[in-house]
Chain A
Amino acid sequence: MVIFLQNLVNALQWGSFYALIALGYSMVYSILMLFNFAHGDIFMVGAYIGFGVSVGLIGLAHSGLLPMPHWLILVLTILVSMFLTSFVGMIVERVGYRPLRNAPRASAAITGLMIGIILETGNLILLGARRVSFPSLIETATYDVGGVILTNKKIMIVGVSLLLSLALHQFVRRTKWGMAMRAMAFDSVVVPLMGVPLNTMAALTFAIGSALAAAAGILFGVAYPVLDPYMGIVFGWKAFVAAILGGRGSILGATLAGFLLGFTEIFVAMVFPSTLRDLIAYSIILLILTFRPHGFFGEPYSARLRL
């Protein structure tokens, strides 16, 4: 039982990363009908921006110019990096995807993969072929709850990712942009005719998705403080699976599926040799998709409106 609970805690943390990244995939797909295959690399870029921002802030704090406690540095790092990374997302949309709005879907997919490669190799050129270690901003405190080990980092990671999912949910439910996003999940013809600028919505969607990916990147850096330029690839693909599993455009779906993916991986590794982890975990996912091809909360393709 203790082992089970311990794994549950670990799975929650692991799933948090997937959930946050999956949200970006899912929102972009819902609104523009394309998968941004560079999204995993935006997660990587976000982690690196977080690295830069936190190193800068630590320097600032230690030089005595702007003394502040480390927890504040972490909060600022998350906020500033989310803000900066949202611009990376908007640039990717503007340069990579907007010119292809009416091109065949395959062109957008190829573009996404290319942008991913550009971001990875750009990082290599900029920082060289080495790993960087994310500064440790908070001391790890461990709590023993009936044999289950919790750490303050784990609690924070799960808490922040749930908080962000909830904030996004509120944004989509309650604001005019959120409403426009939900409407655009049904069509992209009527929505502009009701006065909504398509390009603004596309940019905003990319900005939000990228900001969430940046948050995931920093949280990842807090938990596993080694960053490398290719860290986004596997995470990106797995979060992509979570987005599909959650159903197109569903915030709740993407969040749940992200956690489910975390659970599946961790629990498979608990029972089977860890080399078989992905094989078994993704076979299970494949099985689920066989029975629910449009995911937990998704709708079939044909549901989209045509003029």
Chain B
Amino acid sequence: MPVLEVRKMSHNFGGLRAVNGYHLEIDAGQIRGLIGPNGAGKTTIFNLISGVYAPAEGEVSLNGRKVNGLPPHRIAAMGISRTFQNLLLWRHMTVVEHVKMAHYSRIRYGLAGAFFGTRKRHREEAEIEEKALGLLEMMGIRHLAGQVVLNLPYGAQRRVEMARALATEPRVLLLDEPTAGMNPEELVRIMEIIRRAHDELGLAILLIEHRLKVVMELCERIQTLNFGEVIAEGTPEEIRNDPKVIDAYLGKESLI
């Protein structure tokens, strides 16, 4: 059974059909690519899956359980996590606080513990601190743990966001243009990190990406979206040679 299954999902903004009949199945350990021109509806699909909007039609299920219609914090707690195209970090909080915050739904201590500093709370806090530092280690930014994110270089901020997304302990990870605005050096690092997240944690990953080189290299299968609809789906090889894709997307940029 696929970890994440999306069936006939559609959504409108006013009179605009932003997403039409979207379909997806990902198994654990797969990386899927989602490409398409600007405004094709890629980020909207992420917003619909993660619960920022409830889809007007269709069904999203995680491990066979329906999640569409649930509030976003429940969906996050069930195991869908994501990053954002334009880096939505809490700028005055430290790196390690970002990661600890994302552990929220795993923390069990109650208000009493918060006020009176019970043993349970101290133990949990220590565990979370350790987990958070472990994730930062994996991202190669452990030495920045105490820094306020505002002061970090762009590439490091991207990695903080990735660590935060992983801290919710997801089964499915939605990455929205993780390499946007990166220099070639940072690009290599982030690809390596995505691979590690995939290999070590066995996540199902859905990747929106504009750099086709990255998608072609990382993903087993790719969907191409245009005007809210999937116009082509297949292996990188098939996508590369699909005339519809070349028309909609590659034709004007011809990056390959």
Binding site for B on A (CB under 8 A): 171, 174-180, 182-183, 185-187, 189-198, 303, 305, 307
- Number of A-B residue pairs with CB-CB distance less than 8 Å in the complex they form: 88
Closest chain B CB from A206 CB (angstroms): 14
Set of chain A residues within 8 Å of B109, measured between Cβ atoms: 176
Q: How far is the CB of B56 from chain A (nearest CB, A)?
A: 17
Report if B212 contacts A (CB, 8 A).
no
Tell whether B145 is near chain A: CB-to-CB under 8 Å.
no
Expressed in whole angstroms, the minimum distance between the Cβ of A58 and any Cβ of chain B is 27
Q: From residue A13, how far is it (CB to closest CB) to chain B in Å? A: 27
Q: Given contacts A183-B101, A195-B105, are A171 and B52 in contact (CB under 8 A)?
A: no
Complex contacts, B114 vs chain A, CB 8 Å:
171, 174-178
Is there contact, CB below 8 Å, between A305 and B73? no
A198-B104 in contact (CB<8A) = no
Chain B contact residues, CB within 8 Å of chain A: 47, 50-52, 71-74, 76-77, 81-82, 84, 88-93, 97, 100-107, 109, 111, 114-115, 164, 167-168
Distance from A134 Cβ to chain B, minimum over Cβ atoms (Å): 27
A104–B90 Cα distance when bound, in Å, is: 25
CB of A307 within 8 A of CB of B88, answer: yes
Could you say which residues of chain B place their CB within 8 Å of the CB of A198?
71, 73
B36 to chain A, nearest CB (A): 19
9 further interface pairs, Cβ-Cβ under 8 Å (given A192-B76, A193-B81, A194-B105): A176-B103, A186-B93, A191-B101, A193-B52, A193-B76, A195-B106, A197-B71, A197-B73, A307-B84
Task: Return the contact of A189 from the options B88, B97, B168 (Cβ within 8 A).
Answer: B88
Whether A195 pairs with B82 at a CB distance below 8 angstroms is no
B76 and A179 form a contact (CB under 8 A): no
Please, which residues of chain A bring their CB within 8 A of the CB of B76?
192-195
Residues of B within 8 A of A305 (CB): 88
Which residues does chain A contribute within 8 Å of B72, judged by CB atoms?
192-193
Contact of B102 among A186, A187, A195, A307 (CB under 8 A): A195
A186 and B104 form a contact (CB under 8 A)? no
B73's partner among A171, A186, A195, A303 (CB-CB below 8 A) is: A195
Q: Which residues of B contact A196 (CB under 8 A)?
A: 73, 101, 104-105
B128 CB to nearest chain A CB (Å)? 9
For A303, list chain B residues within 8 Å (CB): 91
In the complex, the answer to whether B164 meets A194 with C-beta atoms within 8 Å is: yes
What's the Cα separation between A186 and B93 when bound, in Å?
10
Smallest Cβ-Cβ distance to A177: which chain B residue: B114
Query: Can you list 9 A-B contacts (CB < 8 A)?
Result: A171-B114, A177-B111, A182-B93, A182-B97, A185-B90, A193-B76, A195-B76, A195-B102, A198-B73
Interface contact A182-B90, CB-CB below 8 Å:
yes
Residues of A within 8 A of B168 (CB): 194-195
| Residues from chain A with Cβ under 8 Å of B50 in the complex | 193
* Smallest CB separation, A112 vs chain B (Å): 25
Among A178, A180, A183, A185, the most chain B Cβ lie within 10 Å of the Cβ of: A183
B104: which of A171, A176, A189 is its contact (CB, 8 Å)? A176
Residues of the A chain whose Cβ atoms lie less than 8 Å from the Cβ of B73: 192-198
The residues of A that contact B52 with a CB separation of less than 8 Å are 189, 193, 307
Residue of A182, A185, A191 with most partner-chain B CB within 10 A: A191
Q: Which residues of A contact B88 (CB under 8 A)?
A: 187, 189-190, 305, 307
Whether B102 and A192, one on each chain, are in contact in the complex, defined by CB atoms closer than 8 angstroms, is no
Q: A194-B76, A194-B101, A196-B104 are in contact. Are A187 and B90 (CB under 8 A)?
A: yes
The answer to whether residues A194 and B100 also contact, given A177-B114, A307-B52, A307-B84 and a CB cut-off of 8 A, is no
Evaluate whether A190 and B84 lie within 8 angstroms (CB atoms) in the complex, with A175-B114, A182-B90, A183-B93 already known: yes
A182 to B94, CA, bound (A): 11
- Which chain B residues border A193 with CB–CB below 8 Å? 50-52, 72-73, 76, 81-82
Q: Is the CB of A183 within 8 A of B84?
A: no
Q: Name the A residues within 8 Å of B74 (CB-CB).
A: 197
**Taking CB as reference atom, which chain A residue is nearest B74?**
A197
Complex CA gap A307/B52 in Å reads 10
Residues from chain B with a CB closer than 8 A to the CB of A171 are: 114-115
Cβ of B53 to closest chain A Cβ, rounded Å: 10
Residue of B nearest to A179 (CB): B101
Residues of B within 8 A of A190 (CB): 84, 88, 90
**B91: A residues at CB distance < 8 A:** 186, 303
A258 to chain B, nearest CB (A): 22
Residue of A nearest to B106 (CB): A195
Complex CA gap A178/B97 in Å reads 11
In this complex, what residue of A is CB-closest to B117? Answer: A174
B157 CB, nearest partner CB in chain A, Å: 13
Given the interface pairs A171-B114, A177-B114, A307-B84, the reply to whether A195 lies near B90 with Cβ below 8 Å is no
Whether B101 lies near A180 (C-beta < 8 A) is yes
In whole Å, how far is A179's beta carbon from the nearest beta carbon of chain B? Answer: 5
